Amino acid sequence: MMPTQAAGMELAGKVAVITGAGGAIGAATALLFAREGATVVLADIDDVAGPRAAGALAAEGHRCRYVSADVSREEDVATLIAATVHDYGTVDVLFNNAGVAGEHVPTAQLDRSTWDRIIAVNLTGTFLATKHAIGAMLAGRGGAVINNASILGLVGEANHPAYSAAKGGVIQLTRAAAIEYARRNVRVNCICPGFVETPLLLDGQHADAARAAVLKVQTPMHRLGQPAEIAQMALFLASNRSSFLTGAIIPVDGGYVAR
């Protein structure tokens, strides 16, 4: 029989680690997880946005802490997970949310350093956090890994070769790990957001209203997604409501990949 919990406390008693927690989706998810009863460890390389997100939780009286970590560095990730286990006893949930977009250029014009950085953060960072978190989960009571990929890991898109490759890799990493640990009480699932209203999407050359209008038209719902909508899917995947779900690749995209 599945355990039950009080309404509004889907993650009561659980410890959640969120990478990229200073960003729009990470901060929204951290706040939602905390309000649903989780102890939240927020990790980010941005030592302004990360503490600010943690401060929003603390201001509401939630149990949380911030850890400065670059997910592309294994020593940082190992320290993050070890500190979480030391302080709170376990890791129940990992939300691999850290990511960078990089330049929007064709494959033949993409420089190697940009490729390396995007792969290092988006794919290698997801692998490293998954590796160390699963180790902690296996030593504890199991858990849930949630990877944040993208619709660009599912469909082709011009001028995003490194980002698309990295997110496609995250999807396949999700499937492999899900199969490996399916009988060991560790579930691994993947969210593929569509066009979500975040600074990662709407910055620099994409900051104008015309660009946002184009993205809305490309989306069957004719609007951009909101960070809180991605957070709601992460909550479902972290909670006992998804107890028979592993290896799932779930678009949250307003119908984009259904076209």
Active site positions, annotated: 163
Residue linked to tokens 């927020």? 42
Beta bridge pairs of residue 250? 191
Complete DSSP assignment for 60-81:
TT--EEEEE--TTSHHHHHHHH
**DSSP H or E segment with residue 155:** none
Distances from the Cα of 190 to the Cα of 71, 153, 208, angstroms: 18, 11, 30
Contact 257, 154 (CB under 8 A): yes
**DSSP H or E segment with residue 40:** strand 39-44
Compute the distance between CA of residue 68 and CA of residue 47 in angstroms, rounded to an integer.
7
Contact 23, 198 (CB under 8 A): yes
Compute the distance between CA of residue 209 and CA of residue 204 in angstroms, rounded to an integer.
12
